């Protein structure tokens, strides 16, 4: 049982606080002989990196990753891969008030209730800065999955304003600061998020992440379903309050015959499905269809609007969260969700090979 580890056979353990000297992770169980260098990891960190637009925190972190172990002559050796990212732009003085009064929506009170002693600077361990470690580990997971599996995350809703599926253009995802596949929606979001930011508020978002090329048969029954592992992975991302697979909550409003993903003989000997309401899983096991997951992210809790709270001493107070924050944490969650998808699937791939030899 490891609170800070994720995965079973492909497994990583993360460490580090928002304002400590560094953060990182140790990836264990990686197959040997895979090409891996910092250059394979850095592009994913760069996508998650703060400070790249006015819609993310202005904290300037280069997030340069160092591989400290587990490779030799550019190939993985099968031993633990230690990844290190230095923190360079801490401004801990911003957090003096946080040490004394709890920020509603943040983990401050819960951590104090649990541990009695916490690092209040930037939220310490509860900061979304930890997700850099996940993204780095996720890049290693992609090396395990190989080129046949493609993973993509993007925002489908921001501040309650959804994309039009008819406008979906994959290439748009990289062209705006919102990982938005609908250019028209991206334009609207820019206006909305600017307004929220200027008024000291914040907005929520819905991220969709898909994996194509996953073969049928990954996952396992009952308590280790692909669905369960994805739900745990995504619900564990900071600010996520909901996860759905395939049609998700909408499936609860369908009738049995509407929800059935009918099957026909496919051209390659594998079944052709006539629909994908299930989002690529049945009985907790992949069907060969695209795996489709959506996650709901609450609006950033760090806002400049004052909120009622109490101090550590239990006295009534009011708090404004200064410091540098994302006006919509959902945006940078997209590369994190991709990483978590890759991490779950890499683990499942090794498990499937272990039990069945396939």
3-state secondary structure of 59: coil
Contacts with 152 (C-beta within 8 Å, 6 or more apart), sequence order: 170, 173, 209, 210, 338
Can you tell me which residue has the tokens 């026909």? 264
Question: What stretch of H or E contains 139?
Answer: helix 131-145
Question: What distance in Å separates the CA atoms of residue 200 and residue 66, rounded to the nearest whole number?
Answer: 36
User: In angstroms, what CA-CA distances link 344 with 121, 292, 304, 331, 354?
Assistant: 31, 13, 36, 21, 15
Q: Which of 93, 116, 166, 171 binds a second copy (CB under 8 A)?
A: 116
Question: What distance in Å separates the CA atoms of residue 333 and residue 339, rounded to the nearest whole number?
Answer: 10
Interaction with a second copy in 182-201: which residues (CB under 8 A)? 196, 201
Is residue 122 a contact residue for a second copy (CB under 8 A)? no
Is residue 278 a contact residue for a second copy (CB under 8 A)? yes
Is residue 63 a contact residue for a second copy (CB under 8 A)? no
- The span of 4-12, 55-63, 170-178, 181-189 binding a second copy (CB under 8 A) equals 4-12
Question: What distance in Å separates the CA atoms of residue 194 and residue 61, rounded to the nearest whole number?
Answer: 22
Is residue 24 a contact residue for a second copy (CB under 8 A)? yes
- The span of 45-53, 63-71, 145-153, 183-191 binding a second copy (CB under 8 A) equals 63-71
Q: Which is nearer to a second copy, 28 or 338 (CB)?
A: 28
Question: What distance in Å separates the CA atoms of residue 329 and residue 332, rounded to the nearest whole number?
Answer: 6
Q: Do the beta carbons of residue 218 and residue 285 sit within 8 Å?
A: yes
Q: Residue 171 Cβ, how far from a second copy at the closest point, in Å?
A: 25
Q: What is the chain's length?
A: 358
Is residue 331 a contact residue for a second copy (CB under 8 A)? no
Is residue 138 a contact residue for a second copy (CB under 8 A)? no
- Under DSSP, the state recorded for 35 is B
Q: Residue 38 Cβ, how far from a second copy at the closest point, in Å?
A: 13
CA dihedral for 86, 92, 94, 96, sign (positive or negative): positive
Q: What residues are paired with 158 via a beta bridge?
A: 161, 205
Draw the binding track, 209-248, toward a second copy (x: CB under 8 A; -: no contact): ------xxxxxxxxxxx-xxxxxxxxxx---xxxxxxxxx
Is residue 160 a contact residue for a second copy (CB under 8 A)? yes
Is residue 100 a contact residue for a second copy (CB under 8 A)? no
Question: What distance in Å separates the CA atoms of residue 324 and residue 123, rounded to the nearest whole number?
Answer: 12
- The span of 8-16, 51-59, 166-174, 182-190 binding a second copy (CB under 8 A) equals 8-16
Interaction with a second copy in 300-319: which residues (CB under 8 A)? 300-303, 305, 307-310, 314-316
How many other C-beta atoms lie within 10 A of the C-beta of residue 331? 25
Is residue 166 a contact residue for a second copy (CB under 8 A)? no
Is residue 109 a contact residue for a second copy (CB under 8 A)? yes
Q: Which of 44, 55, 95, 111 binds a second copy (CB under 8 A)?
A: 111
Contacts with 2 (C-beta within 8 Å, 6 or more apart), sequence order: 13
Q: Which of 117, 147, 148, 170 binds a second copy (CB under 8 A)?
A: 117
Q: Which of 296, 336, 339, 344 binds a second copy (CB under 8 A)?
A: 296
Q: Residue 222 Cβ, how far from a second copy at the closest point, in Å?
A: 5
Angle at 196 between CA 44 and CA 93, to 5 degrees: 70
Is residue 47 a contact residue for a second copy (CB under 8 A)? no
- The span of 37-45, 66-74, 169-177, 180-188 binding a second copy (CB under 8 A) equals 66-74
Question: What stretch of H or E contains 292?
Answer: strand 291-297
Is residue 51 a contact residue for a second copy (CB under 8 A)? no
């Amino acid at each position: 049982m490891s609170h800070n580890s994720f995965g079973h056979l492909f497994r990583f353990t993360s460490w580090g606080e928002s304002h400590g000297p560094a953060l990182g992770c140790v990836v264990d169980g990686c197959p040997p002989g895979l090409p891996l260098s910092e250059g394979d990891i850095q592009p994913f960190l760069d996508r998650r990196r703060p400070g790249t637009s006015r819609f993310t925190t202005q904290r300037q972190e280069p997030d340069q990753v160092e591989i400290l172990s587990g490779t030799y002559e550019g190939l993985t050796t099968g031993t633990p891969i230690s990844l290190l990212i230095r923190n360079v732009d801490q401004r801990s003085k911003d957090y003096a008030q946080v040490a004394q009064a709890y920020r509603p929506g943040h983990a401050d009170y819960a951590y104090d209730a649990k541990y009695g002693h916490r690092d209040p600077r930037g939220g310490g361990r509860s900061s979304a800065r930890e997700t850099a470690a996940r993204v780095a580990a996720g890049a290693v997971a992609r090396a395990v999955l190989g080129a046949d599996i493609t993973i993509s995350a993007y925002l489908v809703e921001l501040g309650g304003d959804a994309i039009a599926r008819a406008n979906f253009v994959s290439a748009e995802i990289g062209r705006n600061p919102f990982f938005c596949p609908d250019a028209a929606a991206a334009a609207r979001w820019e206006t909305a998020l600017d307004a929220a930011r200027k008024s000291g508020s914040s907005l929520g978002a819905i991220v969709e992440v898909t994996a194509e090329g996953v073969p049928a048969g990954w996952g396992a029954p009952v308590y280790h379903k692909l669905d369960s592992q994805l739900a745990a992975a995504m619900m564990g991302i900071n600010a996520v309050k909901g996860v759905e697979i395939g049609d998700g909550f909408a499936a609860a409003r369908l009738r049995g015959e509407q929800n059935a993903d009918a099957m026909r003989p496919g051209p390659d000997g594998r079944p052709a499905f006539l629909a994908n309401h299930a989002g690529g899983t049945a009985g907790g096991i992949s069907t060969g269809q695209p795996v489709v997951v959506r996650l709901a992210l609450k609006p950033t809790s760090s806002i400049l609007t004052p909120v009622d709270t109490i101090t550590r001493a239990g006295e009534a107070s009011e708090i404004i969260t200064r410091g540098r924050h994302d006006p919509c944490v959902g945006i940078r969650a997209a590369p994190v969700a991709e990483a978590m998808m890759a991490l779950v699937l890499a683990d499942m791939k090794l498990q499937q090979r272990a039990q069945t030899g396939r």
